[in-house]
Amino acid sequence: MIDCSRRAFVVAAVVVSLVVATTSSGAAEPEQKYELFDSNNFDHSTTIDNEWFPLKPGMRYVWDGVTVDEDEEVESHSVVLTVTGLTKMIDGVRTVVCWERDIVDRELEESEIYFAAQDNDGTVWLLGEYPEEYDGKKLEAAPCWIQGIQDAKAGIMMLADPKVGSPSYSQGWAPAVEFTDRGAVYKTDEKTSVPFGSYDDVLVIDEYNKEEPGAFQLKYFARGVGNVRVGWRGDVTDQETLELVQVEELSAEELAKADDEALQLEQHAYEISKDDFGHTKPSERSAANAVAQ
């Protein structure tokens, strides 16, 4: 993710620190603040075919639902994720560029690009993100973080072999922007139905962070599809529920247009987040998509 020399894996291992936290099971266990990241373990990094979290370029996913704030105000909420045809080098690893938009009450609340890669063991990693948060059309914040810059560390998006009882894991560690999200396998073999389909053998991941102790977001994953439902449990904060309503493969023309939109957001990132994003190389179009241009 960064345009500078790789950090040695042994150095990362030395600086990892441990904390004690309460997991979704309620038991105290030692947690690594961040994951050990080895940039040499990504031989086919842009082939993201983890059965629980596939990210194929050209796919678009749409979730619909509602958000309820602490004042019990209900707002419609949609999330649109496009797996672009772009790739980006991050700290020696070529990543897939994903473009995601959050739409609340028909207004764009957040637009972000994030960078995913799969290691040789099948684990899917998040190597950074550039989100823009809006109030109306006004840009309010852009809490960018990039693996290897300002002490930010890549995190895990999906384990290669998720099982109940597996240690919790960091989904990214970026103290400069207070990004401390973690995940833990909460349940397996669940059933769920959403507008896009009905699924057995569903995996449920419990997500949480130290900024909101006692509040948990639940994400439901179906084999071969990915995230099909979002729910919550625990303390009352903003409550979000989402269901997968659409999955489609874009045409070459549609994908090229999505790539253009993501590149525009990236260009803004170079202007807004010079200390972080400014140290990265520009994203690149895939050969096939470059021809479509």
Tell me the pLDDT tens digit for each residue of 108-133.
Answer: 999 999 999 999 999 999 999 999 99
Q: What is the pLDDT of residues 146-204, one digit of tens each?
A: 999 999 999 999 999 999 999 999 999 999 999 999 999 999 999 999 999 999 999 99
pLDDT of residue 30: 56
Nearest-CA neighbor of 222 among 98, 53, 65?
A: 53
- According to the model, what pLDDT value does residue 97 have? 98
Question: Can you give the pLDDT at residue 283?
Answer: 98
Name the strand (E) or helix (H) holding 292: helix 287-292
Least trusted range by pLDDT, from 31-35, 91-95, 156-160, 232-236: 232-236
Verdict on whether the full-model pTM lies above 0.85: yes
Helix, strand or coil, per DSSP, at residue 288: helix
Which residues are CB-contacts of 22 (< 8 A; sequence separation ≥ 6)?
Answer: 28
pLDDT reading at 230 higher than 60: yes
Q: Model confidence over 34-64: pLDDT tens digits?
A: 999 999 999 999 999 999 999 999 999 999 9
Give me the pLDDT at residue 8, please: 30
pLDDT > 80? residue 9:
no
Cα–Cα distance between 171 and 155 in angstroms, integer? 4
- Report whether pLDDT(288) > 70: no
Over range 253-279, report the average pLDDT: 97
In three-state secondary structure terms, 196 is: coil
**Sign of the CA dihedral running 121, 117, 129, 5:** positive
Q: How confident is the model at residue 285 (pLDDT cuts 50, 70, 90)?
A: very high
